[in-house]
């Protein structure tokens, strides 16, 4: 109720009481202003008091009750025309009227307050119900976020309501969010501090102590034009709710309660937009990876036949004395290995590799690896180091797939080791694990590349253009090891170089069984 309307209400009811008094005096005459007509006067004044309380509030009702006591005593109780009480019963009548009027005013004011509170609660419940229906009916996360902002704007009767998303890694999102952040630096301040900022009509910024809208600061009577509230999910600030009005408004207790209830839902809507975007990006990456595997598998299959033909023709030309045939055959073998790696990578990702763990010894696996890679080392020496003092080097693993892992590690070491430097292939028992190691004296792995060397197609930025294969050997080696419950790890070798280790579960067997198996 505005001040002008309140003043008019007071004048109306005070005037009505004065008019009723004049009417009763004129209509009753001097002879009728006695004890008999006092009851009628009290009822008339009581009706006026109740009417004033209903429209003007508690203060007007009490004022009318006090005025009624004075008017009854002065005009309708003998001696007339004086403020005095002639009989004890007159006191009873006056006090009874005053108590009845004040109690009635109090009860009416309380009922009105409860009615208004119930109406506000009904508006809050209706707004929350509408919010739920609007967000559930929205097909896209961005549409749901826009509808949440629209419900908040209409409920609080504001001109603007924006939900500005923020990410700790990327800051405010592109487009309108970044434009708003650039135009209003207070947005970043709310994100950094995690507390509410109230902007008064004169431009003064009032910062609350917490992020709860029902905080007592600033007072409910404070007139503001902008309100910025942080949106948090599990202690993470995910955005800012920005409210603005063209004219100064008051954010009363009911609106603060609504804001306190709605903030978490708005924060969840912002987080939902982020999760949907991340899910769509992940799905796009998965689809791209699937298409890449399909293309690789198709191309690899199609390349095998012409490569076989090229190698056969190169061998035929070499038998006829063509000096270039050896180089052709060598490059054909290189392409064949690359195609084989691509096919293996596709099969590994598609789950096409069968793993059959069996009881095997480390000595057998190392011997097979030495024989299979003998032609890779040239003038470099391959040393085998087996810890004979440890318990029996026996484990449950797939022999052929573990052999592939060791061969890939040995080939990698041979590719990067300088001429004349030996390569060490070792095996030892480490608790319940068998550890196979391949150590070289190559350039090693840079710290920034250590986490990526097992990724498919990875090549160091300082690698020579033609260092061998396409960067699939280490990736295939680790994947094959993980299929058997083991792993392949890298460590820097003291003095320079690298150590790649293959770990497999060890098995305890009686000595007789080990000897007989050999």
- Kindly indicate whether the domain formed by 358-517 is annotated with CATH number 3.30.750.24: no
> In the predicted model, what is the mean pLDDT of residues 307-316?
80
Q: How far out from the chain centre does Cα 220 lie?
A: 32
104 neighbors 49 (Cβ within 8 angstroms): yes
**Distance (Å, whole) CA 69 – CA 49:** 11
pTM comes to 0.47
> In the predicted model, what is the mean pLDDT of residues 38-59?
82
Q: Structural domain boundaries of the chain?
A: 3-120, 140-274, 358-517
What distances in angstroms separate CA 374 from CA 364, 377, 475, one per listed residue?
16, 7, 22
Query: What is the C-alpha R_g of the chain?
Result: 45
Q: Which H or E element spans position 109? A: helix 88-137
Instruction: Tell me the pLDDT band of 30, cut-offs 50, 70 and 90.
Output: low
Cα angle: 346, vertex 439, 467; to 5 degrees: 55
**Distance (Å, whole) CA 46 – CA 412:** 104
> In the predicted model, what is the mean pLDDT of residues 239-257?
81
* pLDDT given at position 374: 80
- Kindly indicate whether the domain formed by 140-274 is annotated with CATH number 3.40.50.1010: no
Say yes or no to pLDDT of 35 above 50. no
Domains 140-274 and 358-517 share a fold: no
* pLDDT given at position 516: 40
Q: Which tens digit of pLDDT belongs to each residue from 186-207?
A: 888 888 888 888 888 777 888 7
What distances in angstroms separate CA 359 from CA 220, 368, 483, 505, one per listed residue?
79, 16, 17, 11
Report residue 413 as tokens.
Answer: 């070491």
Q: Quickly tell me which residue has 């160091």 as its tokens.
A: 460
Report residue 366 as tokens.
Answer: 């190392």
172 neighbors 165 (Cβ within 8 angstroms): yes
* pLDDT given at position 71: 84
What distances in angstroms separate CA 439 from CA 254, 367, 374, 382, 442, one per listed residue?
72, 17, 16, 10, 9
Q: For the chain, what is the mean pLDDT?
A: 77
Out of 98-112, 118-132, 245-259, pick the least confident.
118-132
């Amino acid at each position: 109720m505005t001040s002008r309307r309140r003043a008019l209400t007071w004048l109306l009811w005070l005037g009505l009481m004065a008019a009723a008094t004049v009417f009763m005096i004129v209509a009753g005459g001097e002879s009728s202003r006695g004890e008999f007509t006092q009851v009628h006067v009290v009822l008339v004044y009581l009706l006026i008091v109740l009417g004033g309380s209903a429209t003007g509030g508690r203060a007007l009702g009490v004022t009318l009750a006090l005025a009624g006591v004075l008017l009854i005593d002065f005009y309708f109780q003998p001696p007339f025309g004086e403020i005095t009480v002639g009989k004890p019963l007159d006191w009873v009548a006056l006090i009874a009227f005053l108590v009845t009027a004040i109690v009635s005013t109090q009860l009416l004011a309380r009922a009105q307050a409860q009615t208004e509170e119930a109406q506000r609660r009904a508006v809050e419940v209706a707004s929350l119900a509408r919010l739920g229906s609007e967000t559930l009916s929205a097909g896209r996360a961005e549409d749901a976020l826009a509808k949440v902002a629209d419900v908040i704007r209409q409920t609080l009767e504001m001109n603007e309501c924006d939900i500005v998303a923020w990410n700790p890694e990327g800051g405010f999102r592109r487009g309108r969010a970044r434009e708003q952040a650039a135009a209003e630096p207070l947005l970043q301040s709310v994100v950094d501090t995690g507390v509410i900022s109230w902007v008064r009509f004169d431009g003064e910024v009032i910062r609350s102590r917490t992020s709860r809208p029902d905080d007592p600061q600033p007072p409910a009577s404070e007139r503001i034009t902008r309100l910025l509230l942080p949106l948090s999910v599990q202690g993470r600030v995910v955005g800012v709710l920005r409210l603005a009005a063209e004219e100064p408004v008051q954010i009363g207790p009911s609106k603060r309660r609504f804001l306190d209830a709605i903030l978490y839902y708005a924060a969840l809507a912002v987080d939902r937009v982020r999760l949907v975007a991340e899910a769509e990006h992940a799905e796009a990456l998965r689809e791209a990876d699937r298409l890449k595997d399909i293309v690789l598998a198709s191309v690899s299959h199609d390349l095998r036949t012409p490569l076989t033909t090229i190698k056969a023709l190169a061998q035929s030309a070499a038998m006829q004395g063509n000096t270039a045939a050896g180089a052709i055959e060598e490059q054909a073998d290189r392409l064949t290995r690359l195609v084989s790696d691509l096919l293996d990578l596709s099969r590994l990702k598609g789950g096409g590799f069968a793993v059959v763990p069996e009881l095997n010894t480390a000595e057998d696996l190392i011997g097979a690896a030495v024989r299979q890679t003998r032609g890779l080392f040239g003038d470099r020496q391959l040393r085998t180091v087996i810890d004979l003092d440890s318990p029996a080097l026996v484990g449950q693993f797939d022999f052929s797939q573990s052999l592939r892992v060791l061969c890939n590690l040995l080939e990698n070491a041979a590719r990067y080791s300088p001429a004349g430097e030996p390569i060490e292939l070792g095996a030892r028992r480490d608790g319940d694990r068998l550890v196979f190691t391949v150590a070289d004296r190559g350039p090693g792995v840079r710290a920034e590349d250590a986490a990526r060397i097992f990724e498919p197609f990875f090549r160091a930025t300082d690698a020579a253009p033609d260092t061998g294969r396409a960067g699939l050997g280490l990736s295939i080696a680790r994947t094959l090891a993980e299929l058997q419950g083991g792993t392949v790890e890298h460590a820097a070798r003291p003095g320079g170089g690298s150590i790649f280790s293959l770990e497999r579960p060890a098995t305890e067997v009686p000595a007789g069984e080990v000897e007989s198996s050999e």
